[in-house]
Structure 1
Amino acid sequence: MSDYNTHYAQGRVAAQGAAQVDAGLRAYMLGIYNYMGLALLLTGVVAYGVGSYAEANPAVAQTLFGSPLKWVIIFAPLAVVMGLSFGINRLSASTAQLLFWLYAGLVGLSLSAIFLVYTNESIARTFFITAAAFG
C-alpha cells in the first residue's frame, strides 16, 4: 500500500498515443498482407495454369521438366531473390515491385510440377488445411 501509484492518468495518455501509431501500422501491414495475398494468388494461378497445360500436352511437360530447362525453372526464383536482395538499396520502387511480381510468377512456374505428381483434389485439400491453420 505504501507504493500506491497516483500517476495512473499518464499511462492512459501514452496508451492513447500508441493506439494512434498502431492504426497507422495496421494500415501499413494490411497493405503488405494484401500484396502478399495477391502474390500468392499469382503463384497459384501460374502453377495451376502451367501444370494443367503441361498435363494436357506431354511434349510441353517433357520440354519444361525433362530437359535442362528444368534447372532454369528451378533456380530462376533464387536468382531473382538474390538480385532483389543485393540491389534493393539501388533499385527504384517500381523496379523492385516488378521483380517481386516476377518472383511470384517464377515460383508458380517452379511449383507447377506438383500438379503433374499429385491430384488437383489433394493439392486443394492441402492448401485449404494450410490456409485454415494460418488464419
Structure 2
Amino acid sequence: MQNQYDPRTTNSSGFGPAVSVGVPRAARDAGLRSYMLKVYNYMASGIALTGIVAMLFANSGMAAQVFQGGGILPWIIILSPLAIVFAMSFGGQRMSTATLGTLFWAFAGLMGLSMSTIFLVYTGTSIAQTFFAVTAAFLGLSLYGYTTKKDLSGWGTFLIMGVVGLLVAMLLNAFVFKSGAMAMAISAIGVLIFAGLTAYDTQKIKSIYSIVAGNADAMQRAVIMGALSLYLDFINMFQFLLSFMGNRE
C-alpha cells in the first residue's frame, strides 16, 4: 500500500494532527470504531461472495469441466484476481471510489471461481472445519492488532520478505522438487506468516484513520483497501491451513 498508509507516518499517539486537536477523544474513538466496522463488513462480504461463487461453480459441475479440461481458461481465472490486486494497489489513487469498489467485488467473485477447486479436492467437512478454525484465529489476531500498544510496524518488512520467500519456495517445489514434505512445510510457514500479517495489517489499517478522518472520499478508499488487505490475509491463511490439515476426497 502507499507510504501515506504506513503507521510510521502518524505520531506516537496514533492520531494525526488533523484530528488530534480540538476533537474530543470519545468522538475520535466512535469514529474509529465505525471506520473499522466498515472495513470488517466489507471484508466479510467479500469472503461471503467468494464462498458462494466457489460453491455454486463447483456444484454446477462447471469447475470440474474448466479446471480439468486444460487450455487457457483456467489460467485466466487464476491470474485475473492477481491482476486486479495489482491494479488496485498501484492505481487505486487514480480511480474513483466507485471503480475501486467495483474492482473489489470483481476480485472477490473471480477468487470464488478460482477457489472452487477446493470442493473438488477436499471433503466438505474439512473445508468447513478449516474455515471456522481460521475465522477464530483471524478474529483473535485482528483483535490483538487492534488493541495492542506495541508498535508492529517493524514486522512489515520481515513478513513481506517471508511472503516473497514463500512464493519462491512454492514455485521451486511445483516445478523442481515436487516434494510432499516440502509442500507441508510451506503450508505451515504460510499459516504463520499470514497470521502475523493479520495483526500487522489490522494495526496499519487502524492507524490510517488518523490520516483519512474528515475526508469521506479518502476514508472510503481506505475502507476498501483495508478490506482487501484483511481479505488476502484470511484467504491465504485458509488455503495454507486447508492444504496442511484438509482431508482429500
Classify the secondary structure of the residue corresponding to 1:122.
helix
CA distance in 1, matches of 2:54, 2:105: 14
Instruction: Give the C-alpha shift of residue 132 in structure 1.
Output: 2.0
How many aligned residue pairs are there? 117
**Alignment partner of 1:61 out of 64, 80, 83:** 64
List alignment gaps of at least 5 residues for structure 1.
1-13
- CA deviation profile, 1:44-103 (whole Å, cap 9, x unmatched): 10111111112xx6xx52334432211111101001111112221111111110000000
How much has 1:122 moved relative to structure 2? Answer: 1.3
Aligned counterparts of 2:69 and 2:29: Cα–Cα separation in 1: 51
Question: What is the identity, as a one-letter code, of the residue corresponding to 1:90?
Answer: R
Amino acid at match of 2:124: N
Determine if contact 1:65/1:113 at 8 Å carries over to the other structure.
no
The equivalent of 1:116 in structure 2 is 120
Moved more, 78-87 or 108-117: 78-87
- Match for residue 39 of structure 1? 46
Q: Secondary structure at the match of 1:121?
A: helix
Q: Which runs of 5+ in 2 are unaligned?
A: 1-20, 140-249
Percent pairwise identity:
51
- Secondary structure at the aligned position of 1:107 is classed as helix
From 17, 21, 33, the counterpart of 2:24: 17
Cross-structure match for 2:134: 130
Which residue of the partner structure matches residue 103 of structure 2?
A: 99
Aligned-partner Cα distance in 2 for 1:122–1:23 = 39
Cα shift at 1:25: 0.7
Distance in structure 2 (CA, Å) of the matches to 1:86 and 1:134 = 26
Give the Å deviation of 1:37. 0.7
Q: Is the 8 A contact 1:50 1:112 kept in 2?
A: yes
Structure 2 residue aligned with 1:87: 91
Give the root-mean-square deviation of aligned CA atoms.
1.9
Q: TM-score, normalised by structure 2?
A: 0.44
List structure 1 runs of 4+ shifted beyond 6 angstroms: none
CA distance in 2, matches of 1:73, 1:112: 11
Larger Rg, first or second structure (1 or 2): 1
Task: Tell me, in whole angstroms, the C-alpha distance in 2 between the residues paired with 1:71 and 1:104.
Answer: 17
Q: 1:6 is matched with which residue?
A: none
1:27 matched to which residue of 2?
34
Q: Secondary structure at the match of 1:70?
A: helix
Determine the C-alpha separation between the residues in 1 that align with 2:78 and 2:68: 10
Distance 2:135 2:66 in 1: 32
